[in-house]
Structure 1
Amino acid sequence: MFRVTIRGAFEELGKDEREALRTAVGSFQVGFTEAGTFTCDQSLSAFTFRCQVPAEEPDDGEHEATERAIAVLTAHGHPHRILRVGVTDMPDIKIRRKGKRG
């Protein structure tokens, strides 16, 4: 399982697209989902898109996860340009547990 964060900028949004995004901004959930979630400023210039991407093959890596996340972002239909992409392979995360103190 991968978590992909895409930072980008909206481009050439029409009036109707702007209104739809402004209405939805307050209802966006912040988190990683397979459908992806947006957070953006009120000016609708910059955005952060978070997407959770399952590995389809055992040897899938960051490249495949990035491609799938970009496809999910594109399916939302908002014209955009990608500024930066970050990928986290969830099994690689190590959780440090505090030891019991005596």
Structure 2
Amino acid sequence: MGARHTYRVIVRGVWDGLTDRDRERLLADADRHGLSSMRFTEEGSLTYDAALKRFSYRFTVVSDADDGEEMAALLAEERAEAALAALGLGHRALTSTATDMDTMKVNDRGRRPGRPARPR
């Protein structure tokens, strides 16, 4: 087993086959699933708006670095599928993007070449 990396994965999809009851339930909770609720968590953070066209899930996935971003994306899509199935909500067209947080460069604006970073 290789090194473990942490990935942030966004899974996007389209609502499909929602019943009137599903729509009512989603609309009743729409305020709790808006922009202010976007968080990367292991269990996933579901966001959508009142139009009920599209949704996104944000996941944190810890996976073997040798498997890469593709595996992290697949794992997140499986989590989204399971969560949506548990809620009984129809969907289609899942796509995902993953970012390896362990290899991501951080741009420190307060740092200039040859000078130490400013304390925060």
Task: Report TM bin, short chain.
Answer: 0.7 to 0.9
Partner of residue 70, structure 1: 77
Of the candidates 2, 6, 9, which is equivalent to residue 7 of structure 2?
Answer: 2
Greater fraction helix:
2
Q: Distance in 2 between matches of 1:86 and 1:7?
A: 9
Q: Distance in 2 between matches of 1:4 and 1:58?
A: 14
The answer to whether the aligner puts 1:51 opposite 2:56 as a matched pair is no
Map Cα deviations across residues 51-85 of structure 1 (whole Å, 9 max, x no partner): 11111x34221121111111111112222113532
Map Cα deviations across residues 25-61 of structure 1 (whole Å, 9 max, x no partner): 2113211111111221212111121111111x34221
Partner of residue 99, structure 1: 111
Which consecutive residues of structure 2, in runs of 5 or more, have no partner in the other structure? 1-5, 116-120
Partner of residue 31, structure 1: 39
Q: Scaled by the length of structure 1, what TM-score is found?
A: 0.84
Q: Distance in 2 between matches of 1:48 and 1:41?
A: 10
Residues matched between the structures, number: 100
Identity %: 33
Q: Scaled by the length of structure 2, what TM-score is found?
A: 0.73
Q: Structure 1 runs of 4+ off > 4 angstroms?
A: none
Q: Distance in 1 between matches of 2:72 and 2:42?
A: 11
1:8–1:82 contact (8 Å) kept in structure 2? yes
Q: Distance in 2 between matches of 1:24 and 1:88?
A: 29
Larger Rg: 2
Flag the 1:48–1:58 CA change in 2: closer, same or farther, 3 A: closer
Q: Distance in 2 between matches of 1:84 and 1:70?
A: 8
